Copies of this chain bind each other. A is one copy, B any other.
Amino acid sequence: MAILPANKQLRLAVQVFETVKEEIVSGALPPNAQLSEAELSDRLGVSRTPVREALIKLSEDGLVRIIPQVGTFVAPISIDSVNEAQFIREHLECALIVDAVRRMDKATLRLLQDNLEQQERAVRYDDWDKFYELDEALHTLLAKASGHLQTWRIVQQSKVHMDRVRHVSFRMPDHMAKLTGQHKAIVDAVAQGDEVKAREALRCHLREIITTVEKLGLSETGQDLPPSRRRSARS
């Protein structure tokens, strides 16, 4: 059962990590679902060693909780994790964009504006997945322009908890249009070369997630583990 895409360049453990991470963030694997080395290695067609390494990394990122001799479970979406991720992201990414503005060149500025146009198209077609992808690409473009690649890696690492929320929030009415407007404000400020304006526009944009969490009424449900073992409820 080789569900994993054939890729000899990357270690199996990394491929497993990416796959399971995607399944958790997208919601395919619900909170508190049980993941065992044996089950995953069987499902993905690899041995238990790379699976184990992937699970350890997932636990370091806070996406799963490993309890020795008991089991491994998908971590619930805790408000604390989201708030903390927001804190980290806001302070780092707002610092990034300042340097990005200073080092901005015409080529990447053009890419940013192209991205915006595609976003507006995705909004018109209600294409959630495409919008998600473009959203990611926009922020990554700014990060790369700043030159702080390692910092961006940290942000991405912390960001996963927010991404779990975002995957739900995009279904909210008019949400994508609102975000696109914020993106536009950011890129406009960047185009003007106004560092402070860009930073504050980004800050405002990033704080959107807080109000989103409140709107969704995300509670701390499922914070503790289930009393009885339950298997993954995948379709």
Contacts and interface: CB of A to CB of B under 8 A. Distances in A.
Interface of A: 11, 13, 49, 53, 56-57, 60, 62, 68, 81, 84-85, 87-88, 91-92, 95, 148-151, 154, 158
Contacts of A158: 150, 154
A159 B20 CA distance: 29
A148 B84 contact: yes
Contacts of A148: 84, 87
B53 A150 contact: no
B81 A91 contact: no
Given A53-B56, A56-B53, A154-B154, A87 B95 contact: yes
Contacts of A56: 13, 53
A88 B53 contact: no
Contacts of A84: 148-151
A199 to B, nearest CB: 12
A87 B53 contact: no
A163 B7 CA distance: 37
Contacts of A57: 60
18 contacts: A13-B56, A49-B49, A53-B53, A53-B56, A62-B150, A81-B150, A84-B150, A84-B151, A87-B95, A87-B151, A88-B92, A88-B150, A88-B151, A88-B154, A91-B91, A91-B95, A92-B92, A154-B154
